[in-house]
Structures are given as structure tokens and as C-alpha cells.
């Protein structure tokens, strides 16, 4: 599983408990684009359902996917 640079950035900010709106402002992208990156990351990391944001962060950490 390989995450894009932007997917890694978004997931790392999720780990800092940032909302999609806060992530969008920090990365200068739209909240919809944040959602797009998250959905792609969920698929690549094999997570879904309630708490998918934090599950994705934890899976990425466990697999050393974040810079």
C-alpha cells in the first residue's frame, strides 16, 4: 500500500485531531478535496465505517507510511 504525498499530509493532520475544514485551510485546498484524499487513503489502507479517520491514521502509523 502506497499513499500519495498529499494523502500522507491529510492523514497526519487527522492524527493531530484536525477537522476537514481545518485541514483544508492548512493545506490550501477545499474540504471536498480533503474528503477525496481521505476516501482514497481509506481504500488503500483497508479501513471503513465509524472512526475510519482514526483507523486510517493508526494503520498508516503502524505501517510506517507517514513521513
Tens of pLDDT, residues 4-59? 999 999 999 999 999 999 999 999 999 999 999 999 999 999 999 999 999 999 99
Q: How many helices, marked H, and strands, marked E, lie in the chain?
A: 4, 0
Rounded to two decimals, the pTM is 0.91
The separation between CA 15 and the C-alpha centre of its own chain, rounded to angstroms, equals 8
Q: What is the DSSP letter of 49?
A: S
Q: Which CATH architecture has domain 5-62?
A: Orthogonal Bundle (1.10)
> What pLDDT does 67 receive?
78
Each domain of the chain, given as residue ranges in start order, spans: 5-62
Q: What is the CA radius of gyration of the chain?
A: 11
Amino acid at each position: 500500500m502506497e499513499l500519495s504525498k498529499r494523502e500522507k499530509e491529510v492523514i497526519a493532520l487527522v492524527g493531530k485531531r484536525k477537522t476537514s475544514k481545518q485541514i483544508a485551510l492548512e493545506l490550501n485546498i477545499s474540504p471536498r478535496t480533503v474528503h477525496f484524499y481521505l476516501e482514497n487513503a481509506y481504500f488503500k489502507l483497508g479501513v471503513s465505517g465509524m472512526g475510519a479517520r482514526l483507523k486510517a491514521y493508526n494503520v498508516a502509523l503502524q505501517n510506517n507510511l507517514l513521513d
